Amino acid sequence: MRILVTGGAGFIGSHLCERLLAEGHEVICLDNYFTGRKVNIARLLDNYRFELIRHDVTLPIFLEVDQIYNLACPASPIHYQYNPVKTVKTSVMGAINMLGMAKRVGARILQASTSEVYGDPQVHPQPEEYFGNVNCIGPRSCYDEGKRVAETLFMDYHRQNGVDTRIVRIFNTYGPRMLENDGRVVSNFIVQTLRGEELTVYGDGSQTRSFCYVDDLVEGLVRLMNTEAEDIQWPVNIGNPGEFTMNELAELVASTAGKEVSIKHLPLPQDDPKQRKPDITRANELLGWSPTIGLEEGLVKTVAYFAETIQT
């Protein structure tokens, strides 16, 4: 097939492009390099089935493709709060442009949504049926609400125009090619540990997250895109249900890197979720998917990547 990956030079997108090429597909990688990097896909440039286009999804583009993975959007708080208006535009206008293309050419399209649509959840773990607890005017709302509107658009294009849509709600994902300055907790802890700095923990460190290794996530994306299961247009959680406090993660990172660390505590950011854990029953039943790489194993690979790439 001929497959478009928006945000294809990003952390997750580059791994997805590699996977699709390995399966024999033609891949078009589209990215504006706000958080994506050419180095992530440099090894793919000599592949005759790979095409790279510099483009912003907020602007229309016309391509003939069979499938579209719409991953384009800054996903870390530092980056999506840097220009919140542009973040909303990327989520909403990008979804409209990609859905319009899918409608015109009859392509199947997958939207990379997020666990942030659940906000600071009052239901734990979070099933797809939960409507969430989101502050629609807070500093994180540009991302949270942008993704929620994108989901609305996907469902309406499916109901109104018959577009073959998929929605995946991605929970915290980590692995090689994360940006060292993206402000996410895994990359923060690893970079700070390798540089011999204090680990920054917000609040008392008792808040929890669930961490999915990028290879497991990509497997879930590909299965969701290609399944013919009924009612597959409804959102599907993809994430690792293993739950860790920030204090536990700090200890794991330190032991994986073989370093002694100290911790400094800072105030908890506004609207920062206290708990985050996916209910993956739907993914397991519809896709036969569940994660296979535990946090300890994934951290070994991720620490090794940062040890080779960052300046200490």
DSSP state of 131: -
Query: Band of the pLDDT at 285, cuts 50, 70, 90?
Result: very high
Amino acid at site 36: G
Spatial contact of 118 and 133, defined as CB atoms under 8 Å apart: yes
Give the start-end residues of each E strand in 45-194.
50-54, 67-70, 108-114, 165-170, 173-174
Residue among 47, 55, 52, 85 nearest 72 (CA): 55
- Cα(239)–Cα(237) distance, rounded to whole angstroms? 6
Report the alpha-carbon distance of residue 42 to residue 46 in Å, rounded: 8
pLDDT over 70 percentage in the chain: 100
3-state DSSP helix/strand/coil percent for the chain, to nearest 5?
A: 40, 20, 40
Q: What is the pLDDT of residue 272?
A: 78
State residue 203's pLDDT score.
Answer: 87
As a whole-number percent, the residues of the chain with pLDDT over 90 amount to 85
Of the candidates 69, 80, 118, 143, the residue annotated as catalytic is 143
- Paired tokens of 25: 């597909």
Find all residues with CB under 8 Å of 278, minimum gap 6, and list them: 115, 125, 126, 169, 171, 210, 237, 238, 239, 240, 241
64-82: average pLDDT: 90
Backbone angles phi, psi at 251, to 5 degrees: -65, -40
CATH number for 220: 3.40.50.720
The verdict on whether 130 is a catalytic residue reads no
**309 within some domain:** no
Amino acid at 210: S
The answer to whether position 110 is within a domain reads yes
Residue 31 near residue 57 (C-beta atoms within 8 A): no
- Output the pLDDT for position 34: 92
With respect to residue 119, please indicate whether it lies within any of the assigned structural domains: yes
> What dihedral do alpha carbons 260, 276, 16, 231 form, nearest 10°?
160
Question: Looking at residues 89-106, what average pLDDT do you find?
Answer: 97
How high is the pLDDT of residue 80? 83
- The predicted pLDDT at position 112 comes to 98
Answer yes or no: is 263 within a domain.
Answer: no
Distance CA 126, CA 241 (A): 10
Residue numbers of the domain that contains 128: 2-177+214-241+273-292
Count, residues in the chain: 312
Q: Is residue 157 part of a domain?
A: yes
Kindly indicate the confidence band of residue 273, based on its pLDDT and cuts at 50, 70 and 90: confident
Domain count along the chain: 1
| Among the listed residues 22, 23, 28, the one whose alpha carbon sits nearest the alpha carbon of residue 2 | 28
Any domain includes 191:
no
Q: In this structure, is residue 199 part of a structural domain?
A: no
pLDDT at 271 over 80: no
> Mean pLDDT across the stretch 294-311?
93
The reply to whether 35 falls in a domain is yes
Residue 132 burial (C-beta neighbours within 10 Å; 0-12, 13-18, 19+): middle
The residues near 307 (Cβ < 8 Å, ≥ 6 apart) are: 194, 257
Average per-residue pLDDT in the chain?
Answer: 94
